[in-house]
Amino acid sequence: MKSAWGDPLLVTKPEGDPMPTDLQEQIATIVRGFGAEIERGLVEWSQARTPDAFRRAEMAIAKASRWATGMICGVLLKHIVGQPEFQANTAVAARRGGQYRSGGTREVKITLFGGYSVKARVAYLKPDRRRVPGPKRRSGRRGKGGAGLYPALAALGVWFGVTPAVADTICHQMTASDSVRAARQALARQDLDLGHKQSLRIFNSVSRRAVAQRDVWLQQMADSPPATGPLRGKRVVVGVDGGRMRLRVPKLGRRCDKTGHHRYDGPWREPKQLVISVIDDMGKIEQTFRPVYDATLGDCNVLFDMLVGYLKALGVHEARALIIVGDGALWIWDRVDDLVRRIGVDRDRVSEIVDWPHATSTLHDIVKLCANWSAKQRERWLKRAKSRLYVGDIDALGAMIDKLAVGRRAKKVLSHKPYFTRNAHRMQYDTFKEKGLPLGSGIVESAIRQVVNLRMKGAGKFWDERNAQGMLLLRSYLKAGRYDDLFHWTYAAAVPWWPCGREAAPSPLSNG
């Protein structure tokens, strides 16, 4: 017999066979055990008369159901991977690229829901290093060929020793919580606390793979975008901004005598955030389109390269209008023209807006330099300056600033003037208001707070750069309401040699 790929199979089985009786019997035994457990506690639970007693009854029933779920999934998993034709098909498919060769079979321990574990003997493919030049690898080093593969488990999404649902639950909780400790406390209530190291290992492995796959996909979208997308005929708002967090950079030398840990530096780093949203004719955010959040620890060019990939993937060339919002940072506006050219949008459909609160904050900074002024004088000047700013009369505003540039404060006052003169066309706020355009960059400011500040910035928080990049991606998609799409796409894209890798959603932005 031959498989769908034209390769010989060990065993083939006709389609449409009924579920084997032994599998039905095993599941029925588990269900009976669950029923017996419920029956044993029913007398006590039925006597509950207080909130605490009823809560304990609920928790006991939930624990029993998690046990049953894990047991059933374990039986089902062993049944699927125990089929010779499935193992043969997956092994043949994974070896087609020439990257792997047979490594025999191995027993693997797999963790399921409820903390329940099963062991399964499955085929193992080891990296084919026979064509890799150079000396033989040393013990403990995986070499250029990378790690091996359990094809039957990979086809089902079983990576890193856990099932996909368990990995999903752990990664989601680690992303949503404000710390690893808080995540483990929440996971323990679901009998899924696998320990600090293993939980981190699973999260970092999944997130790093997601980052690598996302980078490849964005490059593909930038080079070969789809013909159309969900942004067709929409008014698209793009916001970019930077946050602050601290990295953990190990220092060479002796360990600390007191703690036994390696010393490290904690330099500040600016993660850069992008947001893509859609507004209606009144300037309100359209709820039918889930926003796109993403972030990077790379530089400005990396962020704008990502932005090009996302906008092309969504079909921005067919958008009715493109509105770019941000503060007055030069790294943003110096790259807008190149962005517009690369995504293929007509310049007359593009609007650039400097955030109103940032602009008025600069006016406050200017008036603070007038140390001899009273509070009323400052308030009166600010009121006039804001009125000039709102109507876009930057020349008049510049004249007001010039009048303040006297004496020892002149240099500092005049240092703020270029901010307004170079952004004059981005500060026509009354015109923006009439057109139903946003006056601020609140969409990206909110994203910075949700993605970075509430999870990655705080006293005592230091991040390894690779781990931080993974958290930025998962946290961004979580807060944009796209976490499930990202996780599904990541697991499908990890096995391109298996049909699910080809039939899965083509991008992490599925369903708009």
DSSP string across 384-396: HHHHHHHTT-HHH
Is 282:309 a contact under the CB 8 Å cutoff?
no
Is 251:263 a contact under the CB 8 Å cutoff?
yes
Is 389:359 a contact under the CB 8 Å cutoff?
yes
First CA to last CA across the chain, in angstroms? 42
Q: How high is the pLDDT of residue 7? A: 41
Q: Is 435 left (phi over 0), alpha (psi -120 to 50) or beta?
A: alpha
Q: How high is the pLDDT of residue 145? A: 43
Is 127:98 a contact under the CB 8 Å cutoff?
no
Q: How high is the pLDDT of residue 131? A: 63
Q: How high is the pLDDT of residue 136? A: 61
Say which DSSP state 124 is in.
E
Distances, alpha carbon 65 to alpha carbons 26, 60, 72, 184, 500, in Å: 16, 9, 10, 20, 30
- Asked if residue 417 is part of any domain, the answer here is yes
Q: Which helix (H) or strand (E) holds 238?
A: strand 235-242
Helices (H) and strands (E) in the chain, counts: 20, 11
| Of the candidates 242, 167, 233, 176, the residue with the CA atom closest to the CA atom of residue 487 | 167
- What backbone phi and psi angles, to 5 degrees, belong to 84? -60, -40
- Asked if residue 406 is part of any domain, the answer here is yes
- Asked if residue 125 is part of any domain, the answer here is no
Length of the chain: 512
Q: Where are the alpha helices (DSSP H) in 278-355?
A: 300-313, 330-333, 336-343
| Of the candidates 364, 266, 310, the residue with the CA atom closest to the CA atom of residue 473 | 310
How many C-beta atoms surround the C-beta of residue 261 within 10 A?
A: 9
Full-model pTM: 0.90
Is 306:221 a contact under the CB 8 Å cutoff?
no
Residue 97 to residue 497: CA distance in whole angstroms: 8
Give the CA-trace dihedral at 295, 298, 300, 303, to 10 degrees: -40
Give the CA-trace dihedral at 333, 338, 339, 342, to 10 degrees: 180
Q: In what order do the strands lie in the sheet with 350-354?
A: 292-296, 272-279, 235-242, 321-326, 350-354
> 324 exposed, middle or buried (CB, 10 Å; 0-12, 13-18, 19+)?
buried
DSSP lists the bridge partners of residue 107 as 121
249-255 vs 100-111, strand pairing mode = unpaired
Side chain identity at residue 316, one-letter code: V
249-255 vs 235-242, strand pairing mode = unpaired
- Asked if residue 372 is part of any domain, the answer here is yes
Is 485:505 a contact under the CB 8 Å cutoff?
yes
- Asked if residue 440 is part of any domain, the answer here is no
- Per-residue pLDDT of the chain (512 residues), as tens digits, is 333 333 433 333 334 445 567 899 999 999 999 999 999 999 999 999 999 999 999 999 999 999 999 999 999 999 999 999 999 999 999 998 788 899 999 999 999 988 889 999 999 999 887 766 656 655 555 544 457 899 999 999 999 999 999 999 999 999 999 999 999 999 999 999 999 999 999 999 999 999 999 999 999 999 999 999 999 999 999 999 999 999 998 888 777 777 777 788 889 999 999 999 999 999 999 999 999 999 999 999 999 999 999 999 999 999 999 999 999 899 999 999 999 999 999 999 999 999 999 999 999 999 999 999 999 999 999 999 999 999 999 999 999 999 999 999 999 999 999 999 999 999 999 999 999 999 999 999 999 999 999 999 988 899 999 999 999 999 999 999 999 999 999 999 999 898 875 566 578 987 55
Domain count, the chain: 1
- Asked if residue 367 is part of any domain, the answer here is yes
Residue 450 to residue 339: CA distance in whole angstroms: 26
Question: H/E/C letters for each residue in 41-68?
Answer: HHHHHHCCCCHHHHHHHHHHHHHHHHHH
| Of the candidates 161, 159, 173, the residue with the CA atom closest to the CA atom of residue 198 | 161
Q: How high is the pLDDT of residue 501? A: 59
Domain interval for residue 377: 357-426
Residue 221 to residue 372: CA distance in whole angstroms: 57
Q: How high is the pLDDT of residue 36? A: 94
- Asked if residue 70 is part of any domain, the answer here is no
Distances, alpha carbon 428 to alpha carbons 3, 340, 361, 439, in Å: 65, 20, 17, 9
- Asked if residue 128 is part of any domain, the answer here is no
- Which residues contact residue 134 at a Cβ distance below 8 angstroms, ignoring those fewer than 6 apart? 144
